[in-house]
Structure formats: C-alpha cells, structure tokens
Amino acid sequence: MRRFWAAVACLALLVSACGPAAAQPSASLVASEQPPPAPTTPPTATVLPPTPTVVPTSTEAPTNTPEPTFTPRPPTPTTVPPTLTRVPATVTSQAVPYPPNPYERFAALRFYHLAFIVKADVFQYSAEGDEATPDYHLALTVPLGPPLDVYFVGGRYISGANAAFVDTGKTPPPQAAALEGAEQFARDWFDHPDAAQYHGRENANGVAAEHFVLTWKAGRQVGLGAISATTAGPSSGDVWLQASDGALVKASFTMRVNGLGGQSDVSSRFDVTNINRPVKIDAPAVQQHA
C-alpha cells in the first residue's frame, strides 16, 4: 500500500512536472504564431518601392524635349541675307570718276548763297552774297581797294558803298573785274586738277555730295587780281560735288607759292549754301547813273 501511494506520488510529480512543461510548448507555439504580426512591419519595406519611384528622375528625360532649342537656329540663318544685302552698298560706294568741268556745273544752279575767300599774305579777296540766276548781289572785298556791293539786276550793274549806288548799265564797275579773275582761277583749279582721288559720299552744305581730294603739280599758275604766282611744290585740296548733278558746292585747300616777294601760303575756301531755296534780288535806290 505504501508502494502504491509512493507510486501515485511519483506519478503526481511527473504529471505536475509535465504540466508546466506541456504548457510551455503551447506558449511557445503561441509565440511562434506571433510572427504574423512581424510581417506587418514589411509595410516599412513597402516604403522602399516609393523611393525607387523617385528614380523617375529618369522621367527627366522629357528635359530632352527642350530639343526645341534647335528652333532658334532657323532665325539666325535669316540674319545672313542682310549681311549679303550690304555687299551692293559697298559696290555702289566704289570709286566715282571726277566729272569734267564741275565749276561750270555750279553755274547751272538756280538759287544759292555763295562765299568765296582767298588769302595770301596781307592780301584777301572775297565774294559773298546771293544769286537768283541771272540776277545776283555780292559784297566784294578786293586787295588794295575798298569793300563794294555789286548788284546785277535786270541786265544792269548797280554798285556802290555806304548806300551811295551808281547805275552803270551793262558796264560792270572796275572792282567787278576781280569776279572774272576769280572765275578763271576756279576753272583752272577745279576743272583741271592733275589728279583726283575719290573719298566717298558725304553731306556737304546740306546736300549729298561726292568728296574728292585733288592734287596739282608744282609750277601751276596762280592768278587772282593782285595775286600772281606759281606753286612751289605739289598741292592738294578737298572738293565736294553735289551728287545729283556734279556741281561744285564746297572746296578747301592751301598751297605754297613762289611770288609776292618770296614764298607765301595761299588758302582758299569755297561754300555754296541754300541751294535751290528761292531768293529775290532787289536793286537798291540809285543816286546817279553813270
């Protein structure tokens, strides 16, 4: 009997020992069943795909679509033709030949204001005034003589100074002879240079004009009233001829001459302004007739 209860006690011990041990496996199974919640953390892993989706930085390939940057290139070729159109302009600016007798062409102008001055040492000649062809009024300054106003109106000469005018009819006053000398000087120098070089088209005295540089050899005769000499060396001067008809509208030059008691510098300036602006020449009151 004692052995029975001892066996029962031993069995009870085994059962009590096996009870907890058996319960633990179930707990471990429960614990092993808990891994399913752990997979719920993979959503954090699902965050990884979005970061790859950031890789659509490759979608920036559309930045290649700005290939339309090639579209500006067509306009730049269109600028090429304008540069080509400039070529004719340079062609038209090629050397222009010096026309014959430009001083004679000046005489064909209808209306104008004239200023012509020649200086040599203490001598000065000047003619300044208006012309409405064939009438004119000029204020003359000649070497060794007083200033004089000369009118040519209606085919008659009227001249004088200090408001004392004389009508000499078709006979010019003695001082007017200087005008003939001035015209001869202009024909010799402007109509017959030894060489002429074209310097382009410019504006001169309000009109489009062709600019030439004229040269004259040494030994050329210089004659203008009291001035009588020859050039001591080669001389040059600038001349502007109206582009439309070749008329002389401006000139300027300086030369060194032998004469007048030695060598002297002679300078000249010629300006035609108010071209083709109508002007009326009125004769002054006459005190006496010659």
Per-residue pLDDT of the chain (290 residues; tens, 9 = 90+): 433 333 333 333 333 333 434 334 433 333 334 444 544 444 444 444 444 444 444 444 444 544 444 444 544 444 444 443 333 333 334 579 999 989 888 878 899 999 999 887 777 888 999 999 999 999 998 877 788 999 999 999 999 988 899 999 999 888 777 777 778 888 888 999 999 999 999 999 999 999 999 999 999 888 766 667 888 999 999 999 999 999 999 999 888 988 767 888 888 899 999 998 999 999 999 976 66
pLDDT at 55: 43
pTM, rounded to two decimals: 0.64
The 8-class DSSP code of residue 173 comes to P
pLDDT of residue 33: 45
Helices (H), 55-166: 75-78, 80-92, 102-106
CATH number, domain 102-289: 2.50.20
At 73 the pLDDT is: 53
Cβ atoms of 116 and 267 closer than 8 Å = no
Largest distance between two CA atoms of the chain: 196
pLDDT at 290: 62
> Please, which residues have CB within 8 angstroms of residue 197's CB and are 6 or more apart in sequence?
212, 213, 215
52: left (phi over 0), alpha (psi -120 to 50) or beta: alpha
For residues 169 and 193, what is the distance between their CA atoms, to the nearest angstrom? 37
Overall size of the chain counted in residues:
290
State the first-to-last Cα distance of the chain, in angstroms, to the nearest integer: 196
**Phi, psi angle pair for 51, to nearest 5°:** -65, -40
One-character DSSP codes across 137-158: EEEEE-TTS--EEEEEETTEEE
pLDDT at 121: 76
C-alpha closest to that of 237 among 272, 190, 203, 273 = 190
- The Cα 160–Cα 3 span in angstroms is 183
Alpha carbon distance 138, 124 (integer Å) = 16
